[in-house]
Structure 1
Amino acid sequence: MVKPRLYEQVLERLRAHVAEAGLRAGDRLPAERDLAASLGVSRASVKQAIVVLEVQGLIETRHGGGTYLVRGTLDVEPVEQLVERRKQLPDVLDAREALETKLAELAAERRTADELEDIRQALDFMRDEVAEGGFGMEGDRRFHAAVTAAAHSSLLAEFMKSIAGQITESRTESLRQPGRPPRSLAQHTAIYEAIAAGEPKKAAAAMRKHVRTVAKVRLLTWEPEA
């Protein structure tokens, strides 16, 4: 059995600390030196654990302002799963850019009035999610599914279906980045407007810009500790 890395043990202690202290979303975590002292570990181990929590979007580190909880719990994904996703994510994002850029272009050419309404409703759903403080993940899923349907390309739709699980992971990774949900919503709006106007090139460009934003995630800059 592989022995857990020290900072993985620290992650569990931090999770327990948050629960026992009754900390909630928006609350500030103690300083690294104080956490190290209270948990009985080195500051370096605390720092490594904080980075993993930041990668997972569970905390937000503000320059000069401390570290804050994004959610009320620290339900940490196993580090090995993070490492595996880090390996796969670039390929998934490449596939998304190739497929979804073309789907947006085709949707601008082929969409029906009903399909355009489906895209708009998905946009509204995500807007409501974000307004209520959520990540907007279900609205995001509905939006991209509606664009795919409006493209009327059964083969491209099948390709999208074949990587649906990986797309969900990339969506989760992107939308939990600080400040990302409203930015994603604005980009969805630009895609919708281009499709509504029947402008294929503009729709493709807007989708390409969006997927490249999706690719800007903390996970890809993380270097796992041995």
Structure 2
Amino acid sequence: MPENGDGKGFVRVSRPRLYERLVEQLLGFIASAGLGPGDLLPAERDLAERMGVSRATLAQALVALEVLGVIDVQHGTGAVLVYRPSVAAVLRELREHRDRMPEIVEARSTLEVKLAAFAAERHTRADLAAMDLALETMAAEIAGGSRGTAGDEQFHRAVASAAHSSILASMMTFISELVRETRLASLGQPGRPEQSLESHRAIVNAIRTGDPQAAADAMQAHIDLVAATEI
């Protein structure tokens, strides 16, 4: 029998996180209810009551399913089932997501910090207007009760454009789907949309003053915030 080096012949098994158990229960509910692609899940409040957990805890499980593309959470409508996977496949994908998160954050830090510095040096009035519009979009989304994902994506795209570096912008496009994972996971944390919006404002202020180091530092602080994600 393979051993783990301590002579006891056992391999340590990681303890499943609460939201992983909730993900399993949610998938079980989806299967027992006969839900298929395009069907709407019950409201979060109803699901939380049925499962005996807080809405904040349930929301983390829903965010995990959204990150993996199992559901699509639409503001004003709710969670819509995209496809019905097996429990084993979802748990495996969740663990793979956690494993690659540090590398995605590392890539974002490498690329976006430099893009912010370049944006401080090279931005035009039109670039600043695009960033301000993205901030307004995100603020409106949050005020309307959603997480601000569209405004967040719009903002980072505007910063990349303001750097006027076609190769770095192409590299960001190349990892855009991976960045989407970090975006959904981060903005799904309680209070995070508002924090993210404020860090976006700090980035714009630094870019507007033409200070590359301040812009780089502000972007790094924002990415550090993204990294502090539990999914």
Provide the TM-score with structure 1 as the length reference: 0.71
Q: Identify the residue that residue 25 of structure 2 maps to in structure 1.
A: 10
- Cα 1:11–1:202 change in 2 (3 A) is same
Q: How does 1:126-205 map to 2 (within 5 A)?
A: 126-205=138-217
Report deviation, 1:57.
3.4
Report deviation, 1:12.
2.9
Match of 2:48 among 29, 33, 48: 29
Q: Identify the residue that residue 54 of structure 1 maps to in structure 2.
A: 60
Cα separation, 1, equivalents of 2:91 and 2:25: 12
Output one character per residue of 1:74-127: Cα deviation in whole Å (capped at 9) or x when no partner.
959822221221121110100001110111111011000011101110111011
Q: Identify the residue that residue 111 of structure 1 maps to in structure 2.
A: 123
Provide the TM-score with structure 2 as the length reference: 0.69
What is the identity, as a one-letter code, of the residue corresponding to 2:196? S
Tell me, yes or no, if the aligned pair for 1:55 and 1:218 is still in contact at 8 Å. no
- Cα 1:23–1:214 change in 2 (3 A) is same
**Number of equivalences:** 186
Q: How does 1:200-211 map to 2 (within 5 A)?
A: 200-211=212-223
Tell me, yes or no, if the aligned pair for 2:114 and 2:216 is still in contact at 8 Å. yes
Cα separation, 1, equivalents of 2:178 and 2:207: 25
Tell me, yes or no, if the aligned pair for 1:56 and 1:173 is still in contact at 8 Å. no
Tell me, yes or no, if the aligned pair for 2:135 and 2:200 is still in contact at 8 Å. yes
Report deviation, 1:29.
3.0
- Cα 1:51–1:184 change in 2 (3 A) is closer
- Cα 1:55–1:154 change in 2 (3 A) is same
- Cα 1:87–1:109 change in 2 (3 A) is same
Structure 2 unaligned spans of 5+: 1-19, 36-40, 65-76
Report deviation, 1:201.
1.0
- Cα 1:8–1:151 change in 2 (3 A) is closer
Cα separation, 2, equivalents of 1:51 and 1:134: 17
